[in-house]
Amino acid sequence: MSCREEPGQMRGRAQKKSGRRAYEDRADPAALVALLEARLVTIRERMSDKATLWLHMDYRAVHDMKVACDRVFGRRCFLGDVCWAPGNGARGARGFSMTHQTLLLYAKKGKKHVVHRTDHELLREPYAETSLKMHFKKTDEDGRRYRERHVNGKTYRYYADEGRRLGSVWTDIPAMVANTPLRKEGTGYPTQKPERLLERIVRMSSDEGDVVADLMCGSGTTLVVAARLGRRFIGSDQSPVAIEIATKRLDEAGIRYRFDDRRGDPASDAAKDSAASIPSEETPPDAARS
């Protein structure tokens, strides 16, 4: 989205793929927030206590949505935000270039309930060189560098090669642009995210067997990654182009799912929100309705 000349409005391109409109991102900001806030209320009701909401918005709208999310979830349920700085985005010829994207994180009942895994290399980052030199001065019998910390009479050992828990600024995942190896993942969908980004999110915030929902699933990256990691999934989108691309990706990956087309069904609340939904075949019926 980009600003209109008229105050109080946003304007974006009618994003297209192969001559067809993938989605339309022109919206009055107040209308956009109201639209999404109503959906967030329903999403919160269906979330488990251990679930985390990850919300990605354009930089022009993310701050308005932060206020809306505070209303829906409460400020105490705000877990923080992640700054994703791909490092390979375009730079404007003039003015201030936005080279990062923001993801908002919310829980249903506060952070003590949520899943937050750190047991994979994708969920950890290397120590800074200065920290390694200053603190990791000991070596074990296998030649591994480590440091020890003594807390409440207990000794904890930290190994340099295991890295530290991931922080909130992610610079190690490039965006989907043509001049990177990620082009092999490309589907042509305008807002497609790299699989590595979604793998990090899914690994961090869920356990095997959990249900992962992406209710604006676009090209289906979340669904493909969730299935690969042993999670069940639900995907939906208003765009027929998005549903077509997502189902094609699932089919090509050999992932089983069932397709629920609710367009034009006045008896279904989901008809107001989605053109179609794609629950994984193993998803319980009650979860699929969310």
The string over 135-166, giving b where at least 16 C-beta atoms fall within 10 Å of a residue's C-beta and e elsewhere, is bbeeeeeeeebbbeeeeeeeeeeeebeeeeeb
Q: pLDDT digits over 11-23, tens only?
A: 344 455 555 665 5
The string over 53-68, giving b where at least 16 C-beta atoms fall within 10 Å of a residue's C-beta and e elsewhere, is bbbbbbebbbebbbeb
Average confidence (pLDDT) over 263-269: 52
Average confidence (pLDDT) over 134-157: 94
Q: What is the pLDDT of residue 20?
A: 62
Which CATH number fits the domain 2-126+163-288, given the four candidates 3.40.225.10, 3.40.50.150, 1.10.3720.10, 3.40.50.720? Answer: 3.40.50.150
Q: Does residue 215 or residue 19 have the better pLDDT? A: 215
- Domain locations in the chain as residue ranges: 2-126+163-288, 128-162
Reported as type and span, the H/E element at residue 221 is: helix 221-228
Answer whether 0.85 is exceeded by the pTM.
no
Q: pLDDT digits over 37-64, tens only?
A: 999 999 999 999 999 999 999 888 999 9
Q: Is 124 left (phi over 0), alpha (psi -120 to 50) or beta?
A: beta
Residues 249, 232: Cα–Cα separation, whole Å? 16
User: How confident is the prediction for the chain on average, in pLDDT?
Assistant: 84
Binned at pLDDT 50, 70 and 90, residue 150 comes out as very high
Asked whether residue 142 carries a pLDDT value surpassing 70, the answer given is: yes
Asked whether residue 273 carries a pLDDT value surpassing 70, the answer given is: no
Q: Which amino acid, 49?
A: D
> Whose structure tokens read 């918005």?
57
Percent share of the chain, pLDDT over 90: 64
SS3 at position 149: strand
Q: pLDDT digits over 221-261, tens only?
A: 999 999 999 999 999 999 999 999 999 999 999 999 999 88
